[in-house]
Amino acid sequence: MKFVTTIIYFWFSVWRVSPFSTTDKKIPKHELTDIKNRLGSLEQMVGQLIMQNSSQDVFKLSESARREEHVAFSAYKNQTQTGLNKKHIIKFEGTVLNLGHHYHPEDGIFVAPVSGVYLFHWTINNDGDFAYTNILVGGKVISTTTTSVVSGHYNSGSAMVIVTVQKDEHVWIQTCCGSSNEVYGNTLGLENSFQSTFSGTLLFSVV
């Protein structure tokens, strides 16, 4: 755009010092033709540069839109874990959806591909035991949930947060308190397979 401004400035400079601004002398025909040709060329250059800049802006916007559409995951535990220690990262080994592959089931960690506002939701299920869990963003606790203790019944606790996450920051769920935590999991499709889940999506990016 700076180059376009320079051309326009030069254009008007040519106009100001050209014979067009002189009324007390006759303009030679060959000079008049040359000036018209130069102004015509400058008009074309300016038009092309403006169109190129507009196309680049549209391309950048479309790239941003495509990037945002591909940041989403929904994961679940496929096996039950018991006796988890405090600050144990919970691995949700299975995935229903993992657009962009930014969630890593091998370690239970989501890595933000872009800076933006994200929504996360997690549910912990167990069988008559308690489980306190936190969600951490960049190593900082953002929210907490717990399951109630009702003997002989399946229990669950859920929470949802909307939070700003910087590019390359890690997000995960971990146990919070005690060492008797149980997190229920099972293979999808089995009867009575109450799932512990972890999901997230990018709402919009932030520059």
Residue boundaries of the structural domains of the chain: 2-68, 71-205
In this prediction, residue 60 carries a pLDDT of 56
Beta bridge partners of 105: none
End-to-end, the C-alpha distance of the chain in Å comes to: 21
**Cα–Cα distance measured from residue 173 to residue 133, given in angstroms and rounded to the nearest whole number:** 7
**Cα–Cα distance measured from residue 146 to residue 178, given in angstroms and rounded to the nearest whole number:** 12
Pair 135, 121: CB distance under 8 Å: no
Beta bridge partners of 183: 81
In this prediction, residue 1 carries a pLDDT of 52
In this prediction, residue 194 carries a pLDDT of 72
Does 71-205 carry CATH code 3.20.20.60? no
Strand order in the sheet with 103-104: 103-104, 109-111, 170-175, 132-137, 140-146
Give the number of other CB atoms < 10 A from CB of residue 115. Answer: 16
Q: pLDDT (tens digit, 9 = 90+) per residue, 154-199?
A: 778 899 999 999 999 999 999 987 656 788 887 665 555 678 999 9
The 3-state DSSP class for residue 23 equals coil
- Per the listing, tokens 């008009």 go with 43
The DSSP string of 82-109 is: EEEPTTPBPP--EEEEEETT-EETTTTE
Query: How big is the chain, counted in residues?
Result: 207
In this prediction, residue 4 carries a pLDDT of 46
DSSP E strands, 94-186: 94-99, 103-104, 109-111, 116-127, 132-137, 140-146, 154-165, 170-175, 181-183
- Per the listing, tokens 């376009």 go with 4
In this prediction, residue 116 carries a pLDDT of 96
Pair 171, 120: CB distance under 8 Å: yes
Identify the CA nearest to 204 among candidates 62, 69, 57.
69
Which residues of the chain, if any, have pLDDT below 70?
Answer: 1-26, 52-69, 128-129, 148-153, 178-180, 187-193
Give the number of other CB atoms < 10 A from CB of residue 103. Answer: 25
In this prediction, residue 63 carries a pLDDT of 57
In this prediction, residue 18 carries a pLDDT of 47
In this prediction, residue 153 carries a pLDDT of 63
